[in-house]
Amino acid sequence: MTDAFKVKIKDRSLLERFPFPFQGDSYRYSNNSRALVPPVCIDVTPEYREEVLEKRRLLEQYPERTFRSFPHTLAAQWEIAGMLMHEMSHVYPRYFRLEKEGRLWTFQNKLIHEEHKFIFGESSTLPYEPLDFIGRHVQEDLIYLQQRDGDLYMDAGQLCFPANWSLAFDLGMTYLQFHSPVPIYSESGLAQKVLGFLLRMEAGKPWTRLNWTINVGDRLDTSPEEFGDWGKNKYLLHLGNVGQEVRLRTEDQRLFRLSGNNGILFSIHTHLLPLEMLVQNQVWAERFYKVLEDLPDPLAEYKGFISFKPLLLEYLQDHIGARK
């Protein structure tokens, strides 16, 4: 199978498998979490190889902003790495294999032709910290929230594909602190309610939610540290290129309570869908138009597209009208 043919298959299936985030014609922040069924943290999509290789490039080029941890998280990191290796080899046995001889483990990634032997629990036998190691084998960003003193602290994470937020800046912050920039969410009291929900999460009962924003271009790494490279693109949009350049960005966020360390693993799988593909689904196009039309300006500003929101509405309206 040629690479060109693989790309065509991927593009053809993208619209069908894209996690469209809107259940109604209006959007406001809410605790839209639902039980995760099946309870699987990791997805493997046709973009696997290119996204994993891009993560590795970013980790090597920008280590200070893509992986951070505190020393006290090491036991939790091992628990996360072990949990994900077991899941990956069980859910995707064609792609991953895990063999165990006591504490001597062998993890095989058939998609990128790698094999690693290590002693579980001994960090010197891995090339990276456990969370950083397993993160280099998955498409998801991985954040560890440590629960203590009745709160959640962002104490470790591998973040390569952020939607304009910084792991280096947020490391060590509490849940309410790192959500403080989100308009309406914090001052409404919803953030405190969601924190209470997370603190009550039980091991073996994971949750999931969809978050969304707008991307200009196909760049997954929209970190504030690199804003100078990607932020300017929104000022180059016009009606002739908005369908090709603008993408609906959905984050499939999953939450797992760790049984051994009482923290929470927060995984983020980012999906991008060009507007020109989205409008092929009439129902989605109409709903997205209504959501954007109704969205309060503070939310559009926070999500970074208030300057070209009218252009989005015009493009969507043109395509909705043309199909009626």
β-strand 34-35 against 207-216: which pairing, if any? antiparallel
Q: pLDDT class for 324, splitting at 50, 70, 90?
A: low
Confidence (pLDDT) at 322: 57
How does pLDDT run across 4-32, given as a tens digit for each residue? 334 344 566 899 999 999 999 999 877 78
Q: What is the mean pLDDT of residues 145-172?
A: 96
How far does CA 61 lie from the centroid of its chain? Answer: 20
Q: Which residues contact 312 (CB under 8 A, 6 or more apart)?
A: 214, 242, 246, 275, 292, 305
Q: Report pLDDT for 9.
A: 43
Segment 170-188 mean pLDDT: 85
Question: Residue 254 — pLDDT band, cuts 50, 70, 90?
Answer: very high
The amino acid at residue 213 is T
C-alpha radius of gyration, the chain, whole number: 20
What residues contact 318, with CB distance under 8 A and at least 6 apart? 239
Say which amino acid occupies 20: F
Domain boundaries, the chain: 3-323
Query: What is the reported pLDDT for 10?
Result: 52
DSSP 13-61: HHHHH-----SSS--------EE-SS-------TTHHHHHHHHHHHHHH
- pLDDT score of 182: 82
Q: Which residue has the higher pLDDT, 11 or 109?
A: 109
Please give the pLDDT value at position 181. Answer: 82
pLDDT at 51 over 90: yes
CA distance 4 to 128: 34
Whether 257 is catalytic? no
In the chain, % of residues over pLDDT 90? 88
DSSP labels for 251-292? EEEEEEE-TTT--EEEEEEEEEEEHHHHTTSHHHHHHHHHHH
pLDDT in tens, 274-307: 999 999 999 999 999 999 999 999 999 999 999 9
Find, among 271, 269, 251, 261, the residue nearest to 40 by Cα.
269
Q: Note the pLDDT of residue 321.
A: 74
Confidence of residue 157 (pLDDT cuts 50, 70, 90): very high
Residue 274 region by backbone torsions, left for phi larger than 0, else alpha for psi between -120 and 50, else beta: beta
> Which pLDDT value is given to residue 11?
63
Tokens of 248: 């609906």
CB 268 within 8 A of CB 249: no
Q: Does position 127 have pLDDT exceeding 80, yes or no?
A: yes
* pLDDT digit string, tens, across residues 202-229: 999 999 999 999 999 999 999 999 999 9
pLDDT for 31 equals 76
Given the residues 28, 56, 97, 209, select the one marked as catalytic: 209
CA dist 188 and 315 (Å) reads 33
Q: What is the mean pLDDT of residues 157-165?
A: 97
d(CA 51, CA 67): 16
Cβ contact 165:174 at 8 Å: no
How does the average pLDDT of the chain come out, rounded? 93
